Amino acid sequence: MLYYFLFPLADEFQLFNVLKYITFRSGGAMITSMILAFMFGKPIIDWLRIKQKHGQPIREDGPERHIVEKAGTPTMGGVLILFPAVLSTLLWANPGNAYVWIILGVLIFFGLVGFADDFAKVTKRTHAGVSGRLRLVIEFIVAGFAVYLLAKLSAGSLSAPAGFSTSVAIPFFKDVLINLGPFYLLFGAFVIVGASNAVNLTDGLDGLAIVPVMIAAGSLGLIAYLVGRVDYTEYLQIPYVPGTSELAVLVAALLGGGLGFLWWNAPPAMIFMGDTGSLSLGAAIGAIAVSVKHEIVLAIIGGLFVLEAVSVIVQVVSFKLTGKRVFKMAPIHHHFEKLGWAEPTIVIRFWIIAVVLALIGLATLKLR
């Protein structure tokens, strides 16, 4: 909104000329979102604690200290990220950019799905929540529609080569695109839904999910900025997708909200992000990756989330086929808890892994 109302006044007041710079507006969005999260954190936590009474239900088969230490902690803390991030994006982003609106739509709709799931868990006093099948159906419908809009948007670009909108870029190779045709809709939806649920599985320890989410989002925000600049794409030999640079503002708003949430989620957590936060943030990351044609790079940058999801799949498949478990408990962070690792040790080491994977993912921009 600031861009819409104040930038036209730049001819009369040179100060407003800074609004044309995405980097400036990204900084403004991040600071605004962080301040909002700090301001409304305590009131929202107190309100949720009163409304939820017993807090988030804890898995009875989980580590014993979880049941003792984390019982009664309110959930739905994702609103502490979504509310500041959405408001800051609307305030600082260019309202004429379609990519921003599509990603915001994904963020909000997946947030609503997560909120419904959290609400069901709290009211029914069970960790089951909304039916998994129903949730996946809704997620794929929303993700599929978003991918359709993103494909139409990129296809409408005059600079886009034929079939670009339904193609997947291969990292480490320049100008290598695989056109999936109509199957790209399913592929893109799978990326968004997969990222959403992978982040959801990672959210099991205080601060474990939010920091890797911010690392992945920040990396994709940088990629979005570069991909939307023709000069940088020519130098790096990566696909040019005009308009995506504006997504850096949205990502900055998410980072600000994430930092504000981490203030309250740091051990011992005063609030959990719940499915409200994890599903929406994961979906947003996946949608941004689809927007900038870096779906495969997302698997590298978000490798920690992939590891968490694969550990669950391996555990389930192994138990159904052989009756034996590969891990002491899945997702894999609980396996290390069962081995006796302290929670802060697991969290910080997983953060380090997330940083290393993000650096590897970013290296693909140059190693072509």
pLDDT digits (tens, 9 = 90+) for 74-110: 888 899 999 999 999 999 999 999 999 999 999 999 9
Q: What is the reported pLDDT for 17?
A: 66
In the block, tokens 């408001």 appear at: 87
Confidence of residue 126 (pLDDT cuts 50, 70, 90): low
Both tokens assigned to 221 = 């925000």
Confidence of residue 255 (pLDDT cuts 50, 70, 90): very high
Residue 358 covered by a domain: no
Q: Rounded mean pLDDT of 228-244?
A: 90
- Is residue 10 over pLDDT 80? no
Residue 247 covered by a domain: yes
- Is residue 7 over pLDDT 70? no
Helix (H, G, I), strand (E, B) or coil at 244: helix
- Is residue 316 over pLDDT 90? yes
Comparing 55-59, 81-85, 257-261, 296-300, the range with the smallest average pLDDT is 55-59
Residue 173 covered by a domain: no
pLDDT in tens, 167-183: 898 888 777 888 999 99
Confidence of residue 155 (pLDDT cuts 50, 70, 90): confident
- Is residue 9 over pLDDT 90? no
Residue 304 covered by a domain: no
Confidence of residue 47 (pLDDT cuts 50, 70, 90): confident
Residue 96 covered by a domain: yes
Residue 351 covered by a domain: no
Say how many residues make up the chain: 368
The mean of the pLDDT values for the chain is 87
Confidence of residue 160 (pLDDT cuts 50, 70, 90): low
Helix spans in the chain (H)? 2-6, 22-52, 64-69, 79-92, 98-124, 132-155, 183-202, 210-227, 230-236, 247-265, 274-291, 295-301, 303-322, 332-338, 343-363
Percent pLDDT > 70 in the chain is: 86
Q: What is the reported pLDDT for 129?
A: 67
Residue 136 covered by a domain: yes
Burial class (CB in 10 A: 0-12, 13-18, 19+), 128: exposed
Helix (H, G, I), strand (E, B) or coil at 155: helix
Residue-number span of the structural domain to which 153 is assigned: 2-168+180-294
What is the Cβ-side half-sphere exposure of residue 157, based on CA atoms within 13 angstroms?
Answer: 22
- Is residue 66 over pLDDT 80? no
| Short-list 66, 71, 52, 59, CA closest to 122 | 52
Residue 317 covered by a domain: no
**Number of folded domains in the chain?**
1
Q: Rounded mean pLDDT of 59-83?
A: 71
